Amino acid sequence: MATRLIHRSCFTTLLLVLLFATGHSGHAQTAAPAGPAATSTSQPAPSAYALPPDKLAKAITLTRIRTAIGFADTGWGILSMLLLIVLGVPAKFRDWAVAASKYRWVQCLIFVPLFFLTTTIVGLPLDLYSQHIERAYGQSVQGWPSWTGDQFKSLLLSFVIGVLIVMLLFWVIRKSPKRWWLWFWLASLPIIALLVFIAPVVIDPIFDKFEPLQQSDPALVTRLEEVVHRGGMVIPPERMFLMKASAKYTGINAYVTGFGASKRVVVWDTSISKATPDEISFIFGHEMGHYVLNHIYKTMGFIAGLLLVMLCLAYYSVHWLVRRFGAAWKIPSVDDWAALAILMLILSVFSFLSEPMLNAYSRAHEHAADVYGQEVIHGIVANPQQVARASFQLLGESYLDDPNPRPFIEFWTYSHPSTAHRAAFAASYNPWAPGQKPKYFPPEK
């Protein structure tokens, strides 16, 4: 339930490859406060979440640095892609690929890794600086060899998935020049579903170590089964996993991932070491809320709809740019391999512009999960309000979250409501008080 999502979402792997979206990969948020929308947007009570002076100064500075890095990364990604196009780099890679073989699949195997490697190198300085900042402020304990290894794994994964997706994209473009955006969107839906399904069992273990929670902490599993029973759900212990996050991170987190047979709840070992059993029950209840409220399926549908709009707009944009600048850029047609750079440039811009909408959607889900989390532990912990508020205090201190982020930054970049809003809501939310009623559970008689 950390404010930043460190685990890798599967459908995001597809979106990352084509730069459909950037906010869900890497560091993002995974949990949020719950309750009515009006409450979640109200000003937080000053005492709900606060930091001592030394931590507050660090939190403010770190938030500013992270915000600057985030916007700089987006801006540099767009600018560098344009520079590569103008300098003829994609066209040169295309020439090498075409000269190497007459077979399109061989050309793709040459062009895509070259192009992805180049864009990775171009973005490497900001990635290195970001990791340096996380280490300097105690957010990461991951050594540089391990970090470098993760970058190589990500690059190789993008090669494998990217080659397949790009090959499919250009095959569709050639088969249907006027409707490729629609056919590719239809083809992408099962790919997105497949990636979401396999991520917990194939992709995530590439980067982090997981083990059944029952194996490492059976007493905690017994406690969590009380929460499951209270929610009337069936989440067997074999779907509860512990992630060895302490090898890389200092923050606390938990998340729900996968769907169908691969759906599972993951709790970081840092959460277990730093939080009380009551707080872990709330953290788990929040993630169970995602599980119960079908947020993964709903998010997949939302992403699919957004992807359709973006591809349609990209169709008109890429054709216009090729007609207008194709000769100067040595990219004669949309089905030219080098046109991938133009498409990625366009989608990078659309992704940035759509970020507030994606984050607003995420904040709504996270808020609902927090409502559910606080309600589901009623009767299991002595004081759900205090436990939830204390959980957010621990969360904020762990990640050095600014208690008073700027409204614009929260609107544009936060995939969760701020920790201050979450803590304020938790402290005030008591649906079992006279005249009130819970949202997800029947009122007590």
Identify the active-site residue in 279, 287, 397, 410.
Answer: 287
29, 158, 193, 250, 405 from 24: Cα distances, Å = 8, 15, 16, 20, 20
DSSP string across 380-395 = TBS-HHHHHHHHHHHH
User: Of 7, 33, 35, nearest to 296 (Cα)?
Assistant: 7
Q: How many residues does the chain have?
A: 445
279 is catalytic: no
User: Of 366, 365, 377, 388, nearest to 438 (Cα)?
Assistant: 377
Counting Cβ atoms within 10 Å, is residue 62 exposed (0-12), middle (13-18) or buried (19+)?
A: buried
Residue identified by tokens 């979401």 is 196
The helix/strand count (H/E) of the chain reads as 17, 4
Q: Which pair of structure tokens corresponds to residue 97? A: 């690929």
- Gap between the Cα atoms of 22 and 26, Å rounded: 8
User: Of 68, 140, 139, nearest to 406 (Cα)?
Assistant: 68
User: Of 440, 418, 423, nearest to 431 (Cα)?
Assistant: 440
- Gap between the Cα atoms of 137 and 399, Å rounded: 9
Report the sign of the C-alpha dihedral through residues 383, 385, 391, 393, in that order. negative
CB 1 within 8 A of CB 253: yes
| Active site positions, annotated | 287
